Amino acid sequence: MALQMTEKVVDGVTVIALDGRIVLGDETNAFREKIKSLIAEGRTKILLNLDNVTLIDSTGLGTLVSTHHSAAARGAFVRLCKLGTKFQEVLQVTKLLTVFDVSDTEADGIKSFSK
Amino acid sequence: MLEAHSNGAVGVEVIAPGGSRRFVLIEETPFLIGRSGETAKHLQLKDPRISRQCAAIVCDGERYFLEDRGQRHGIFVNGEKVARRELQDGDLISFGVENFYELVFQSALHDTTSIPELLSRIENISSSDAPQGGLQKLNLLLEATTLLHSRLPLEAVLGTMLDHAVSVTDADRGYLLEPRAGGPLHVSLARGRGGTRLSSTESAPSQTALQQAIDQQKSIITEDLAQGGGSLQAAESIIAQRLRAVVVIPLYATTRASSSDSAVHHKRGEFLGVVYLDSRRPAAFSKLDRRILDALGVEAASIIDNARLVERERERERMEQQLAIARDIQQALLPRGLRDFPHAGIAGINLPCLTVGGDYFDFFPLGEGRTAFIIADVSGKGLGAALLTTMLQGALSGIRIGIEPARVFENINYFLCEHEELARYATMFLGILGRDGQFEFINAGHPSPFLLRRGEIDEPFTDGSYPVGLMPGAEYASSRVKLQAGDTLVLFSDGVTEAMDPDDNLYGGPRLREVLGDLHEATLDHVQKTVLASIKSFTRGAAQADDITLLLVRYRA
């Protein structure tokens, strides 16, 4: 599988650094399961750092959106930071930029939860 | 030095990632395999993931060897990484890359081997270790082996195998039992003497004897109860059936470690099942040579193993036929090629990366001189996405009977969100072009079509909403602009801009713009061909990773 997920907690925010490809198959499945288990543990502030994501395909995008929705339905927040140009573009084209709370830096992303 | 082979046909079956197969004869060795050029002149697998020079099959007169000649991910025979390995008939050669070509080495081609030849060959192997008395009986069994080469139903092949086992051992009944996934053995065939079928009311084989043979991993003969082990004496079913003699032969898939001489070593493989034979005559199996049972076990296992291969192959063929039907239907649902409407010319093409795809386009006339056209891209690819394209097409055809397009989009969105377990969404772009140049469009998360106007290229159709199927309750609305005579719209799926070359570089929007730069006056057919040729030359033979769809619309006024 070509997606690494590294987890840390800063100021009560669970930061997941994603490294690799968010694409159809094991990657999206592992990602979905990871977020699901975090929410089941009661984490409500989840920040995804996409700095090292090299590729997101259409299925990966769909998974991000559905993760966002299912978190919201359980009172949790999934936010994004450090989007690459390419992914920013994809979110622009699909109008999904308005759906996600997006920060430029990880620090800003963490701060956004305390506002 | 190259050596030509005239003795018997040897070759490799090439299984493409999509499952299609072709056969390549090994006419000279070294038989060179790789990506391209002189270094792979016998078998070129055009895919950037393997090395230019990859592997070779060489021959030392009788035997064939596979050699790694620099494949960066390694060369594998039956899943085992090798530098050099002697090849056996049926060996599977792979290249350490997922979803890639696989080769099946074939040294005994079925259509070139006559049945007598095969029989005599197997007989020769067996004669060195089979006892004199067993030979003739063993030959009966060999006939069964040849049945595999005919197109008999699987059950008939296994039935014949079992009949031969009954005949060889002179038993009353024969059972073939196979393991169910995670469960106990179940009877897959039951035969009496002379090939009669046994009814289900016949008493079942003795579980105790079966278990004993499986535990010991070898065939057992129990002459009668008095001589059986303690656990056998206690077994009620044996007593109830008053059986006198039982033979149980466990079957294991075998891998021939070496067949260069008659000393064939069989490595024990996957447990395939059990042949169970019994007889009411006392001491019925006392004269049976254990070597006959062993030979029986090996042959029966090989038949079952092969039969399963045949079955899997047939299943694959069936699947391929079904996919071919799906492809025909999907292509038949597309409007054909170039079409002229009074005020507009339209040309479209759809190239799925798999047999069927998740892209589609459509166009059709509406009343009052208006023409509708659509491009859509369902997330994912292959059959799953393809199933949804037909649903989209059906729903969108509602526009023809006067339903407001935005309501149709909302309805599709509702439908896909309702069935969220589909985990699919689609980007779509719908355009409706009037005779007066009035252009109404709805963009659901799709890349803006390019507008070619007198040598200028723009992407003005970005207004819109989310892809359908992602945001419950999303609203859609039409936007309106006016087109000028001679304007050309280029609609495309992201398979165009995200086409990749062997180094994973993207074709990209800027390149598409550049190609379209001076094509605003070219015929639509020419524009289409030029764009496709440009993608093709950019990707340099890299496997197409996503569906490619291109739809061109020119307003003539």
- Residue bearing tokens 């729903």: B395
With a cut of 90, say whether residue B386 has pLDDT above it.
Answer: yes
Instruction: Report residue B89 as tokens.
Output: 């008939």
In tens, the pLDDT along B232-254 reads 555 555 555 565 688 899 988 86
Residue (of B492, B505, B446) closest to A55 by Cα position? B505
Nearest by CB to residue A24, choosing from B380, B464, B467, is B380
* pLDDT at site B141: 53
Cβ–Cβ below 8 Å for A66 and B423:
yes
- Which of chain A's residues have a Cβ under 8 Å away from the Cβ of B377? 58
Distances (CA, A) of B551 to A87, B284, B456: 25, 78, 19
- How far, in Å, CA of B245 to CA of B491, rounded? 77
Q: Which residues contact A9 (CB under 8 A, 6 or more apart)?
A: A15
pLDDT of residue B241: 55
Instruction: Give the pLDDT confidence score for residue B375 in this predicted structure.
Output: 97
Distance CA B308, CA B253 (A): 11
Calculate the alpha carbon distances from B178 to B79, B168, B266, B461 in Å. 25, 21, 21, 62
CA–CA distance, B157 with B374 (Å, rounded to integer):
53
More confident residue, B235 or B371: B371
R_g (Cα) of chain A, nearest Å: 13
Over residues B46-75, mean pLDDT? 86
> How many Cα atoms within 13 Å fall on the side-chain side of residue B231?
8
Mean pLDDT of chain B: 81
Residues from chain B that touch A66, judged by Cβ atoms under 8 A, are: 420, 423, 470
CB contact under 8 A, B447 and A96: no
Instruction: With cut-offs at 50, 70 and 90, classify the pLDDT of residue B8.
Output: low
pLDDT of B396 reads 94
Q: pLDDT-based confidence at B158, cuts 50/70/90?
A: confident
pLDDT at B341: 83
> Is A40 touching B (CB cutoff 8 A)?
no
Peptide bond into B250 cis (omega under 30): no
Four-residue CA torsion sign, B511, B512, B515, B520: negative
Interchain pair A96, B470: CB under 8 A? yes
| Partner-chain contact A59 B446, CB within 8 Å | no
3-state secondary structure of B515: helix
pLDDT interval class at B266 (50, 70, 90): very low
Which of B1-10, B289-298, B317-326, B510-519 is least confident? B1-10
Tens of pLDDT, residues B331-352:
889 887 667 888 899 999 999 9
Taking one residue from A and the other from B, the number of pairs with CB-CB distance under 8 angstroms is 42
Question: Using CA of residue B309, residue B314, residue B318, residue B323, what is the dihedral sign?
Answer: positive
* B88 sits in which H/E element: none
Q: What is the DSSP string of B325-364?
A: HHHHHHHHHSPPSEEEETTEEEEEEEE-SSSS-SEEEEEE
Strands B84-86 vs B64-68: parallel, antiparallel or unpaired: antiparallel
- Nearest by CB: A94 against B380, B424, B466: B466
pLDDT over threshold 80, residue B130 = no
- pLDDT value at residue B125: 44
Lowest-confidence segment of A56-60, B27-31, B117-121 by average pLDDT: B117-121
Give the pLDDT of residue B262: 40
Kindly state the average pLDDT of the residues B349-375: 91
pLDDT of B302: 79
The pLDDT assigned to B430 comes to 97
H-type alpha helices, A1-115? 26-40, 58-73, 85-93, 106-112
B474 Cα to chain A: minimum distance (Å): 11
| Overall pTM > 0.95 | no
| Distance in Å, alpha carbon of A10 to nearest chain B alpha carbon | 30
State which amino acid sits at residue A98: T
Summary mean pLDDT of chain A: 92
How high is the pLDDT of residue B473?
Answer: 94
Domains and CATH numbers, chain B: 3-111 (2.60.200.20), 117-316 (3.30.450.40), 334-555 (3.60.40.10)
Question: Over the stretch B91-110, which tens digit does the pLDDT of each residue have?
Answer: 889 888 888 888 888 775 44
Average pLDDT over residues A16-30: 91
Q: Which of B142-151, B468-477, B512-521 has the highest mean pLDDT?
A: B468-477
- Contact assessment for residue B203 and residue B241, using Cβ atoms and an 8 Å cutoff: yes
B156 contacts B144 by C-beta, under 8 angstroms: no
Mean pLDDT across B287-307: 78
pLDDT per residue as tens digits for the range B387-413: 999 999 999 999 999 999 999 999 999
Report which of B476, B484, B418 is spatially closest to residue B454, judged by C-alpha positions: B484
Mean pLDDT over residues B417-424, rounded? Answer: 90
Kindly tell me if the per-residue pLDDT of A72 is higher than 90.
yes
Strands (E) in B151-307, as ranges, are 173-179, 185-192, 220-222, 245-256, 266-279
Bigger pLDDT: B225 or A82? A82
Which residues of chain A have a CB within 8 Å of the CB of B419?
A: none
Q: Is the pLDDT of residue A15 over 50?
A: yes
- Please answer yes or no on whether A59 and B494 come within 8 Å at the CB atom: no
Overall average pLDDT of the B272-277 stretch:
90
Q: What is the per-residue pLDDT for B92?
A: 86
> With contact defined as beta carbons under 8 Å apart, do B554 and B490 qualify?
no
Chain B: residue whose CA lies nearest to A54: B504
Neighbours of B226 (CB within 10 A): 6
Judged against a pLDDT cut of 70, whether residue B58 lies above it is answered with yes
Question: In residues, how long is chain B?
Answer: 557
Does B441 have pLDDT greater than 70?
A: yes
CA–CA separation, B358 vs B546, rounded Å? 9
Comparing B198-202, B318-322, B367-371, B464-468, the range with the smallest average pLDDT is: B198-202
Q: Which residue has the higher pLDDT, B371 or B111?
A: B371
Q: What does the DSSP assignment read for B368-405?
A: TT-EEEEEEEESS-HHHHHHHHHHHHHHHGGGGGT--H
| Interchain CB contact of A95 with B (< 8 Å) | yes
Query: Is the minimum CB–CB distance between A30 and chain B shorter than 8 Å?
Result: no
CA distance A80 to A89: 14
Which residue of A36, A93, A99 is the best one to mutate when testing the B interface, meaning the one whose CB has the most B CBs within 10 A? A93
Domains and CATH numbers, chain A: 3-112 (3.30.750.24)
Is any Cβ of chain A less than 8 angstroms from the Cβ of B404? no
Neighbours of B253 (CB within 10 A): 16
Which tokens in the block code for residue B479?
Answer: 């936007």
* Across A87-103, average pLDDT: 92
pLDDT digits (tens, 9 = 90+) for B161-181: 788 888 888 888 899 998 887
Q: Which of B49, B389, B470, B494 is the best residue to mutate to test the A interface, defined by the most A CB atoms within 10 Å of its own CB?
A: B470
CA distance B59 to B96: 24
- pLDDT over threshold 80, residue B18: no
Contact criterion met (CB below 8 Å) for B494 and B447 = yes
